[in-house]
Amino acid sequence: MIDIQRLPKHIAIIMDGNGRWAQARGMVRSKGHQAGVEAVDRVTAECSRMGIKYLTLYTFSTENWNRPPEEVNAIMQLLITSLVEETFMKNNVRMRVIGDRKRLSPEVRKCIEDCEEHTSVNNGLTLVIALSYSSRWEITDAVQHIARQVLEGNIKPADINEQTIAENLESHFMPDPELLIRTGGEQRISNYLLWQCAYSELYFTDIFWPDFDEKALHQAIEDYQQRERRFGKTSAQVKAETEK
Ligand code: FPP
C-alpha cells in the first residue's frame, strides 16, 4: 500500500524500451514511440491525481540526435502533436522543457514555448520534458554562465559553492528527484540528471515504456517507500530523527 503522506515530490523517468516494444510486435520503431505517448499521458494523469509535484521525463537525449533522421523526425512530430495545451490546462499541469533548444527546429521551439507560456498559470503537477538534454551538456552550460559572471566581476571564484551550481542549471526551478525510474531493463543513468540524482533512489524495471501503467508506477513508489534514505548518515541517526 502506498503511504500517501510520504509520496516523492519529484519523480524522474527514463522512458526506455519503445523500439524493442515495437520490434517485438513486428512494427517500425516509431510505432513504439507513439505507444509511448499513451504511457506518458497515463503516468502524467496518475502523478497529477496523486498530488506529485514534479515529473521529469527523459524524452530525447543529446545522443539521440545520432539516430536515423526518420526516427528523429517521427519523435519531433509526435511531440508537436502530443503536447496538447488543452489537456494540460484541463488538468492544471504546468509544462516546462529542459535541454539545448538551439538544436530544435523553429516549429518544435515555437510549440514548446507557447505551451510553456500558456501553462505557466497552472499550479498542479509540473511536467518537465527533458528534450535535446544531457546532464553533461547542462553542467557545461552552467559552468559557462558562472564563468561569465566571474569575468563580469559579479562572483568571486572562492564564493562558488553547490548552490551556485544548482542555481545556474537549466533545471534550477525543480527540487532534486527522490525517485528515478528506468523502464526497459537496462540499469544505467545515461547522462540524465547526474547532479540532481546524487541521492535519488534508483528503480529499474524490465517493463517496456509503452506498457508502463498506473500499477507499475504504484509498484515503483511502494518500493521507494520501503527504502531507508540515509544521506550519508547511519541507520540509527535516521531512526532517531524520524522518531523525534
Ligand atoms: C527510448 O526508447 C525512448 C525515446 C528515445 C523517445 C521517447 C519519446 C516518447 C515516448 C514520446 C514522448 C512524448 C511526449 C509527449 C513526452 P528506445 O527507442 O531507446 O527503445 P529501445 O531501447 O527499445 O530501442
Residue minimizing CA distance to atom 5 of ligand 1:
60
Helix (H, G, I), strand (E, B) or coil at 5: helix
Q: How far is the CA of 208 from the centre of ligand 1 (A)?
A: 10
What pTM did the predictor assign? 0.95
Q: Is 8 in the pocket of ligand 1 (CB under 6 A)?
A: no
In the numeric block, which cell numbers belong to residue 103?
538544436
151 vs 96: CA distance, rounded Å: 30
Q: Looking at ligand 1, which atom is closest to the CA of residue 39?
A: 10
pLDDT top residue among 145 and 244:
145
Task: Answer yes or no: is pLDDT of 32 > 90.
Answer: yes
CB distance 44 to 94 below 8 Å:
no
Q: What is the pLDDT of residues 136-150, one digit of tens each?
A: 999 999 999 999 999
Given 3, 41, 64, 206, which residue is catalytic? 64
The pLDDT assigned to 171 comes to 98
Q: Is 17 in the pocket of ligand 1 (CB under 6 A)?
A: yes
The pLDDT assigned to 62 comes to 97
CATH no., domain 7-134+175-242 = 3.40.1180.10
Q: What is the pLDDT of residues 88-118, one digit of tens each?
A: 999 999 999 999 999 999 999 999 999 999 9
146 vs 182: CA distance, rounded Å: 32
Q: How far is the CA of 175 from the centre of ligand 1 (A)?
A: 24
Q: How far is the CA of 74 from the centre of ligand 1 (A)?
A: 11
Residue minimizing CA distance to atom 24 of ligand 1:
19
Average pLDDT over residues 158-165: 98
Q: Is 64 a catalytic residue?
A: yes
Closest among 116, 48, 53, 40 to 85, alpha carbons compared: 116
Mean pLDDT of the chain: 96
Q: How far is the CA of 33 from the centre of ligand 1 (A)?
A: 5
Q: Any idea where the domains of the chain sit in the sequence?
A: 7-134+175-242
Q: How far is the CA of 2 from the centre of ligand 1 (A)?
A: 28
CB distance 162 to 140 below 8 Å:
no
Q: Which amino acid is at 206?
A: D
42 vs 30: CA distance, rounded Å: 19
Alpha helices in 51-198 (DSSP H): 69-82, 85-90, 106-119, 135-151, 162-168
For the chain, strand residue ranges (E) read 10-14, 54-61, 94-98, 126-133, 179-182, 201-204
Q: Is 213 a catalytic residue?
A: no
The pLDDT assigned to 31 comes to 96
Q: Is 77 in the pocket of ligand 1 (CB under 6 A)?
A: no
Q: Is 82 in the pocket of ligand 1 (CB under 6 A)?
A: yes
Strands 179-182 and 126-133: unpaired
